[in-house]
Structure 1
């Protein structure tokens, strides 16, 4: 299947500057293409991941991906999708973010294949560009009228936009032109909000290199959930690719909890499963939705892609333990992942009677209720039912001297952290 045909089947194409020309080009030869991300933070979230999944598909189809980390543009701020000016970061913070995002990208892309990943930083070719050369060599090629008409600028005119952010599309255009000349990049891909920046780059290439220059742009659709809300956002915030911000278990659970109405779209967008496999899973969503097989496959594919096989095994182990209530086999680190968002209490390492301990923490409202729940078998500690109201709680009852898990009834879990 032609890579363009595959992207169309996956619903991954929003706009193209020359659909037929790009189709012919990728059928004739292997091309270089790029996508960029600004280092506005020290981790990408899954919303950032969308265009880079398309870049990965091109890599698997035999093309050469170039990833641009915006060490220069990150100091300016892209006005796309914003109603206010960005807070400028220090150069030291930008560089720290560049290093973090570079490490994430190298993990996601196969740098050992024949189509090796090329990582570039636009700070390298812009930091020595002086203001006069910028205005003469580049500014002269941009019409203010045209720039004002771009959606990314037009949407900000009422609330206001600084010259700094207004000039962002010029800097991104310089990037496309530089990569066209120096890395033979003929295609830029990006999110739907990048259309104006991409077409500005194509205009600059043709003004600089002549109208016959072969360069193309392609954007990815805006991803919305079936309920109309923005993809990738939860009540707890963004779903990060950094395991320290969003644990592999939380990452796995995000995908496992996908709505039936969205799961097939996500399988097409985010996994590398073939059409036959996805069609089979789609049929099961319709005939056996209660089994949630499509969601399980989606969660497994995405967790393995972002975090690796061992993290996937751990996420599945925690999931199974929580579902069954048998948490004895979990490690302290797995407890920390799986119970991160559970009600959390702190207790000293001193020995104390179970009834007093539960009441002092606030897990039980009174000693009478605590005794009653224990007598009824409603309290479990670390997966073991508590039967004795005279039992003492000691550090020996904990996971690695760090955590004790109390379950009250069938579903109410509490995480108790032991502190000295």
Structure 2
């Protein structure tokens, strides 16, 4: 990948990773002269969790920090009450203040795990309600609103795309409020750079223009800058991070760490090069070498496994990632090999396994047999069907083949949590729990 358009280390890095969609003139020179630039990204608190689509922005802040800048994460407690029309086809429901505060706190906690808040260029976590909540309507319209004309705002794609479908004045005002955020962040925290997805370019440039008009000396000197990266899109053109079950969340209570890891393992080969470059901190040399190994034997899914391990450890921690990998090895095999024994699972991994599989109650009769276990698992509807299934080698218990239908249920020693893991065929699992 060619990387010679920029001289600053940050923009070289972004370009090599395919992360430059639009960039303000002068940013490269500013970063080359002094990389210690404070830059921010806004996070919408319309939910109580970030999702995988947000990782592009989170990692953009980490890259800024690694190159000497200070990352600023702005949770829009004020603008979240209105809603950004960018990339939307309809107006969303407005959230009340208590809900927004709960969401803001939850997202702040997630960001604190993903970005370094310590050290000389430690990240800042801010809420724009701090200044938007203090802004009086008359003063805001007089001192800020007069600097951006309606014609200027209507020319922005985020507004034009919604005019025919209907755009309320509430959402129309979002651009002005986001511009005011940039102005206040520059004044209060010395923020010079705003980053965001490509659908944010109109809002970002409105902010740089407001800063030039309000804080400039009347000249064309660049006081603030914007940098947009391409949106991550799925094969169908939708924003990245959705499955048939909905969004893939960073919160373990909404998307389990196991399901989170599997999401990355399931990525198509064509998508993996971009994901490795844009969602990991690996160097281009490391990524190229890994992709070459992957290409030599795609069935091993080396690239997907690295992506899954890296991002699951980033979001949920290395220990949880290891547990999820162990559970996957039991269910699907490790590195393309045979399935691992469920007896290798510790209590935490067994709990994770139990959360992913359907469970039934084990039969309690003292004379219960393997046939009764198969019936209890719902793998058969009659004893004759269960017998045929067992005799054909279609059943395993705790990872071991079981071919004798008359085997006593008591013969199968339970796992550490007292359960039995039954499998029919290759991938159909049930957990049988003691009553």
**Which moves more between the two structures, 54-63 or 284-293?**
284-293
1:157-183 C-alpha deviation (Å, 9 max, x unpaired): 112111111111111011000011111
Partner of 2:336: none
* Separation (CA, whole Å) in 2 of partners of 1:143 and 1:404: 68
Task: Give the unaligned 5+ runs of structure 2.
Answer: 1-7, 334-338
Check the 8 A contact 1:260/1:285 in 2, yes or no: no
Q: Secondary structure at 1:260's aligned position in 2? A: coil
Query: Is 2:217 the partner of 1:200?
Result: no
Contact 2:350/2:417 (8 A) holds in 1 = no
Matches of residues 293-312 of structure 1 in structure 2 within 5 Å?
Answer: 293-312=302-321
List per-residue Cα deviations over 1:21-54 (Å, max 9, x = no partner): 1111111111111111011111000101212211
**Of 89, 103, 108, which residue of structure 1 is paired with 2:109?**
103
Structure 2 counterpart of 1:326: 341
Q: In the alignment, which residue of structure 1 is the partner of 2:53?
A: 47
Deviation at 1:273, TM superposition (A): 0.8
Asked if the contact 1:205/1:213 (under 8 Å) is kept, the reply is: no
> What is the deviation of 1:295?
1.6
Q: CA deviation at 1:124?
A: 0.6
Does the Cα contact within 8 Å between 2:195 and 2:226 map onto a contact in 1? yes
> For residue 24 of structure 2, what is the aligned residue in structure 1?
17
Q: Structure 1 residues 396 and 231 mapped into 2: Cα distance closer, same or farther (>3 Å)? A: same
Instruction: Tell me the TM-score normalised to structure 1 length.
Output: 0.92
State the Cα deviation string for residues 279-332 of structure 1 (Å, max 9, x = none): 111222333222322222211211121111111211221122221152122245
User: What CA RMSD, in Å, does the superposition of the two structures yield over aligned residues?
Assistant: 2.2
Q: How far apart are the structure 1 equivalents of 2:312 and 2:384?
A: 45
Q: Secondary structure at the match of 1:33?
A: strand
**Between Structure 1 and Structure 2, how many residues are aligned?**
415
Give 3-state SS (helix, strand or coil) of 1:397's partner.
coil
Change (3 A) 1:227 1:91: closer
Distance in 1 separating the partners of 2:306 and 2:15: 22
Q: TM-score, normalised on structure 2?
A: 0.89
Relative to structure 2, which stretch is displaced further, 67-76 or 106-115? 106-115
Change (3 A) 1:258 1:385: same
- Specify the SS of the correspondent of 1:298: helix
Distance 1:262 1:296 in 2: 13
Deviation at 1:390, TM superposition (A): 5.2
Q: Structure 1 pair 267/394, CA: closer, same or farther in 2 (3 Å)?
A: same
Could you tell me whether the CA contact under 8 Å between 2:261 and 2:308 is conserved in 1? yes
Structure 1 stretches lacking a partner, 5+ long: none
- Secondary structure at the counterpart of residue 261 of structure 1: coil
Once residues 342 and 278 of structure 2 are traced to their aligned partners in structure 1, the CA distance between those partners, rounded to angstroms, is 34
Compared CA separation, residues 345 and 248, structure 1 to 2 (3 A): closer
Structure 1 runs (4+) deviating above 6 angstroms are 393-396
Q: Could you tell me which residue of structure 1 aligns to residue 44 of structure 2? A: 38
Partner of 2:32: 27
Residue 378 of structure 1 deviates from its aligned partner by: 2.5
- Given that 1:357 and 1:393 are in contact with CA atoms closer than 8 Å, whether structure 2 keeps it comes out as no
